[in-house]
């Protein structure tokens, strides 16, 4: 089995942190938390992601090239991957192994913007992408406020109809 690094960014409700930690347990992988130098609020991160300026990150602890694959776990804000996650990929100057992308976010991807952003920042197209839309994890009305306020837990993810899809996805990461 290949050695996998799971690098995650999570800000709004910690949902992608919970997801990344669950996957790292299931896969016995190392975990890297992507952190910005300045501790900003969600509004500031969303704005910086929209305009593509700011969100400098702290130097990562692990080198992805020591691994066979890199799994990036991150939310989608304003239709794209948050800038700290993009800046994380850029940090390695395209020296990264195979990349996979996993997201717990509001809805299925409606554009290929997130995938294109990964391709531009990492220098390679993700091998595989899995998006877990919040409405598939719980009984929730599909309005932006409820979606943004949703807080995941490991149990919610394990009990959801998406758990099989998640397991299948992580089994393909090698």
Ligand X SMILES: Cc1cc2nc3c(=O)[nH]c(=O)nc-3n(C[C@H](O)[C@H](O)[C@H](O)COP(=O)(O)O)c2cc1C
Does residue 147 interact with ligand X by CB under 6 A? yes
Q: Which of 10, 29, 36, 48 binds ligand X (CB under 6 A)?
A: 10
Q: Which of residues 104-143 bind ligand X (CB under 6 A)?
A: 104-107
Residue whose CB is less far from ligand X, 64 or 106:
106
**CB 114 to ligand X: min, Å:** 9
**CB 39 to ligand X: min, Å:** 14
Q: How far is CA 56 from CA 5, 20, 30, 91, 116, in A?
A: 21, 21, 23, 10, 20
List strands edge to edge, sheet with 69-73: 30-33, 4-8, 69-73, 98-105, 128-133
Residue whose CB is less far from ligand X, 93 or 110:
110
Does residue 84 interact with ligand X by CB under 6 A? no
Does residue 26 interact with ligand X by CB under 6 A? no
Alpha carbons 79 and 82: distance in angstroms, whole number? 9
Using CB under 6 A, which of the segments 73-81, 90-98, 113-121, 160-168 binds ligand X? 73-81
Q: Which of 5, 6, 16, 83 binds ligand X (CB under 6 A)?
A: 16
- Which residues are near ligand X by CB under 6 A? 10-16, 42, 46, 75-79, 104-107, 147-148
């Amino acid at each position: 089995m290949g050695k996998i690094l799971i690098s995650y960014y999570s800000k709004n409700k910690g949902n992608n942190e919970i997801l990344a930690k669950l996957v790292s347990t299931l896969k016995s992988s190392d975990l890297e938390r992507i952190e910005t130098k300045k501790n900003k609020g969600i509004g500031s991160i969303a704005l910086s992601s929209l305009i593509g300026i700011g969100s400098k990150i702290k130097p990562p602890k692990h080198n992805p090239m020591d691994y066979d694959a890199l799994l990036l776990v991150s939310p989608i804000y304003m239709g794209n991957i948050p800038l700290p996650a993009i800046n994380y990929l850029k940090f390695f100057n395209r020296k990264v192994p195979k990349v996979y992308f996993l997201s717990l976010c509001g809805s299925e991807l409606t554009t290929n913007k997130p995938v294109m952003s990964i391709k531009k920042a990492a220098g390679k197209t993700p091998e595989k992408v899995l998006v877990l839309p919040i409405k598939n994890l719980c009984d929730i009305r599909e309005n932006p406020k409820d979606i943004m306020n949703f807080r995941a837990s490991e149990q919610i993810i394990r009990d959801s109809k998406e758990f099989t899809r998640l397991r299948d996805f992580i089994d393909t990461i090698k």
